[in-house]
Amino acid sequence: MKRMLLVLLICLLLMPLSGFDLFFEEEPSRITSFTAEAAGGLYRDEQFLARTTLSLSLEQNHQRYGAIAHLAYDASTNRLKTGELSVSLLVGNLTVKGGLFTHPWGSAFTAHVVDVLSSRDLTDGFVDDLEAMKRPSAMVLLSSYGKNSSWDLAFKPGFQSSHLVTEGRYNLTPASFASAVITQQDTTSLSSWEAGGRYRTALGKLDVGLLYFNGHHPEPGFSITSFAPLAVDLVYTRHQLFGLESSLLFDPFTLALEGGFFLSEDAEGTDGSLYNSRFAYLAELSYTHPESSAFLALAYQGRYVLDFNTTNPVDVDYLASFNGKAYENTLLLVVEYPFLQQRLTTRAALTYHIESEGYALLAGLSYTLQDNLTVFLKTTMYGALGNKSSIYASWDDNDSVVVGMKAWF
């Protein structure tokens, strides 16, 4: 009950923009939608899976301002999640947006290496929606869109790290740290600010973007303060991203490229509690069938860590590596095909991590009974082709099959 009252209170706080109607002649448009999703299934270890999610979306749009509230309540875990709470002001071709939200960077469809404004949330493991695995954060965004170019500037008054799942099925805490006393670093103060910008331009069928970002590595490093009992302080590495994104359209194919150099505050790579500088890169080739809208994408993603240290067993880069390698490579494949005049859609996404031989397969069917009613079947599989340790192998028992229904009102 308290959570539902909180939802209503937030919505009431966002709606005062309707009072702006006194100053503007044009009547704003208001969109209110409610979504209910219920699903059930089984995990590989025969435990029952049940999920009920209620979502509320409120939007108000005017020629000079806008407001958005997206909230979701998971009844099975009693968890309230904020998708977006934001207010926008429009002045000419400039837009100023502030609040709690995500803003994507990058040109690829399957994954990104320069999408640094939001950190990850793997509370529910891997899902078939990149935006759903992001944590919205407090941000002020200034953007402008022209005929052939656009730019945006972002400022974040604090830093929100990737959500560290410490219990349950998707626990990411190493076994050696299970009983450790962990001290979190405060990242909500202005001293943890982040800022950056992106400029994009269109050159015929080629779109190119340049990016700069001064922020933090989303996963924490650590320093050991005591061995008996084991105690660690989590620390976050500040770095600067110098990045590039591009997409080349040659119907019906699209080639997307992303790359960046992350310059660490530990530029010499001498502090084992901080992440070193690194290169990250991605190439994706996608195909869209012009008549059926069938979609196929194949991507390669990798990174290379500079000044990699193999002599320090508690160096964070070494612990985050696979088999003590300074590099990491991943292949991704996504297929989507609609049938029956796009009422029935099949989707499959495969991630294969080369160094660990680990994989994650997500597949599903969805059928639209009515414009506001869809039924679906989804399956998720984690594992490894060999016996190497990885996040994919540790989630082996989280294989699942789920059936459900989603309705919009």
Note the pLDDT tens digit of each residue in 157-190. 998 888 877 777 888 777 767 777 888 888 888 9
Q: What are 331's two structure tokens?
A: 């292949």
Query: Average pLDDT of the chain?
Result: 89
For residue 319, the surrounding DSSP H or E stretch is helix 316-320
Long-range Cβ contacts of 20-26 (<8 Å, 24+ apart): 20/62, 20/64, 20/65, 24/62, 24/63, 24/64, 26/62, 26/63
Class of domain 29-408: mainly beta
* 7: helix, strand or coil: helix
Preceding omega of 229 cis (within 30 degrees of 0): yes
User: Which class for 146: exposed (0-12), middle (13-18), buried (19 or more C-beta within 10 A)?
Assistant: exposed
pLDDT above 70 for 370: yes
What pLDDT sits at residue 6? 43
The whole-angstrom separation of Cα 148 and Cα 267 is 37
82-100 pLDDT, tens per residue? 999 999 999 989 999 999 9
Q: Is the pLDDT of residue 76 over 90?
A: no
Give the model confidence (pLDDT) of 342-361 as tens digits.
899 999 999 999 998 999 99
Mean pLDDT of 241-268: 96
Cα separation, 363 vs 225, whole angstroms: 44
pTM: predicted TM-score of the whole model, two decimal places: 0.89
pLDDT band at 14 (very low <50, low <70, confident <90, very high): very low
Cα-Cα-Cα-Cα torsion 321, 323, 325, 328, nearest 10 degrees, comes to -60
**Residue listed under structure tokens 């012009």:** 290
Judged on CB neighbours under 10 Å (0-12, 13-18, 19+), 84 is middle
Per-residue pLDDT band for 12 (boundaries 50, 70, 90) equals: very low
Give the C-alpha separation, 361 to 379, whole Å: 8
Q: Where do the structural domains in the chain lie, given as residue ranges?
A: 29-408
- Of 221-230, 287-296, 324-333, 376-385, minimum mean pLDDT range: 221-230
With a pLDDT cut of 70, the percent of the chain lying above it is 93
**Which residues partner with 199 through β-bridges?**
151, 210
- Give DSSP secondary structure letters for 322-356: STT-SEEEEEEEEEEEEETTTTEEEEEEEEEETTT
Report d(CA 219, CA 171) in Å as an integer.
14
Q: Per-residue pLDDT for 232 more than 80?
A: yes
Q: How confident is the model at residue 25 (pLDDT cuts 50, 70, 90)?
A: low
User: Which two structure tokens, joined as six digits, stand for 247?
Assistant: 């997409």
pLDDT at 296 > cutoff 70: yes
- DSSP-assigned states of every residue in 53-120: EEEEEEEEE-SSEEEEEEEEEETTTTEEEEEEEEEEEEETTEEEEEEEE-----S-SS--SS--SSEE
Under 8 Å between Cβ of 257 and 280: no
Task: Give the whole-angstrom CA distance, residue 348 versus residue 150.
Answer: 33
